[in-house]
Amino acid sequence: MTPEVREKLDRLDDLFPPERLSRSKERWTRLWHGDPPLDRRPFVYAPYKLNYYDAGFSAEERLHANLDEFLARGIAQDDFIPAFFPGCHQGTMPNLFGAVPVQVDADFTCARLIETPDDIDRLPPPSFSPGTVAHEWLTMQRYALEETEGRLPIHVMDMQGPADVCGQLWGYENLLAAAYTDPVAYHVLLQKVTEAFIGFWDAQRTLAGELFVGTHLFGWDWVPADAGASISADSLVMVSAPFYQEFYQPYLQQIGEHFGGMAVHSCGNFSATAPALCATPSLKAVNAGQMSVAELVAAGVDGRTIIIAWSDVSVIGESFSHAAAHGLRLDLTVSGLWPCDEHGVKPRQDWTREDVAHVQRTDATVQDAAATCSR
């Protein structure tokens, strides 16, 4: 451990003492287990500066970016629990099968690997060996564990889910059509990728051991060990409920059964598939990239399923009141706390006394709303 990392970890211990972390973990655990709130509903503020879902940096750079983020946001008294989040690379899972990663600006994808159904049978077994993107992630997670000497939990990376990985490997147009024109090939490919997902998740869980945090929804969230797996399924917006039930659900369910539950994310408006998704055995939580809490409720998500969503601080009272009125279980990220100027979020060293006072007043207001709506 370098002196700089040690100094930052020591400062984090002061900002997030054991009693604070214990209370926050109890609040989150009660939410995930369906128990009454401890003293208030849990919540977490949106990231201060860190771009959680980026890639293309060294392990050392990423560790310090995480630590600096945690130190800056220690002023707030939310339920954030410092834990290293490695990032996201959309080509990770396809690369397990040999697909070549492709970078487009700051985003990553992969070259298409499958042109005909016969190519599916020729796919090699998934590999985490040196030279793969997956190996790079495992190396980064191992570095964070060793450099912090076990003082910082480690998140799973954003792995995407089986259907969307297959969409990258074959092209979504070919994949979705194959469900009808060549269902054998479709199911063989989905099964291969589902098993690879389970294998890579287990590799990360084994590496981190008791320090493993099994969610990327969101990368700044915390979940208890029995929460299950988190899965991205952005293509839910492309399919109907019957299609989901026949061609998506079996593979999500396989993951959920292996890990004792699951949380599923999709971007866009997936109202059409939300009822079928919520009826999936093993589903514990739904995360929407663009849908509001009200839209999710209107689509049929209720208190049996945790809603992982956003609320701006300006409407936080309404958000918690809505949750109380409808018996919702909210894993809520609150945006709008951090001081901004014309360039965006202000660096912590540039905050004025009024900036600090504004953060503290706003934080107190959110805490009061979380407590009032838990009674």
| pLDDT tens digits, one per residue of 182-220 | 999 999 999 999 999 999 999 999 999 999 999 999 999
Mean pLDDT across 106-119? 89
Mean pLDDT across 323-335? 94
- 58, pLDDT greater than 90: yes
Q: How far apart are alpha carbons 228 and 260 in whole angstroms?
A: 5
Burial of 268 (0-12, 13-18, 19+ CB in 10 A): middle
Q: Helices marked H in the chain — which ranges?
A: 3-15, 18-33, 59-72, 92-96, 117-121, 133-147, 162-170, 172-181, 183-208, 241-243, 249-259, 274-278, 293-298, 316-326, 353-372
What's the CATH code of the domain at 21?
3.20.20.210
- 374, pLDDT greater than 90: no
Q: What's the half-sphere exposure (Cβ side, CA atoms, 13 Å) at 131? A: 7
Could you tell me the pLDDT band of residue 274, with boundaries at 50, 70 and 90?
Answer: very high
The tally of domains found in the chain comes to: 1
- 95, pLDDT greater than 90: yes
Q: How far apart are alpha carbons 176 and 237 in whole angstroms?
A: 13
Q: How far apart are alpha carbons 92 and 100 in whole angstroms?
A: 10
- pLDDT the model gives residue 154: 98
Residue ranges making up the domain that contains 112: 3-372
Could you tell me the pLDDT band of residue 375, with boundaries at 50, 70 and 90?
Answer: low
- pLDDT the model gives residue 91: 92
Give the phi and the psi of residue 352 in degrees, each rounded to 5: -90, 175
Could you tell me the pLDDT band of residue 55, with boundaries at 50, 70 and 90?
Answer: confident
Percent of the residues in the chain that have a pLDDT greater than 70, as a whole number: 100
Q: Using alpha carbons only, give the angle 319, 324, 328 rounded to the nearest 5 degrees.
A: 85
What number of other Cβ atoms are within 10 A of residue 180's Cβ? Answer: 10
pLDDT tens digits, one per residue of 347-373: 989 999 999 999 999 999 999 999 988
- pLDDT the model gives residue 342: 87
- 304, pLDDT greater than 80: yes
Mapping DSSP to helix (H, G, I), strand (E, B) and coil, where does residue 332 land?
strand
Q: How far apart are alpha carbons 299 and 290 in whole angstroms?
A: 13
As given in the structure block, the two tokens for residue 293 are 């809490």
- pLDDT the model gives residue 5: 97
- pTM here is 0.95
Give the phi and the psi of residue 81 in degrees, each rounded to 5: -120, 115
- pLDDT the model gives residue 110: 85
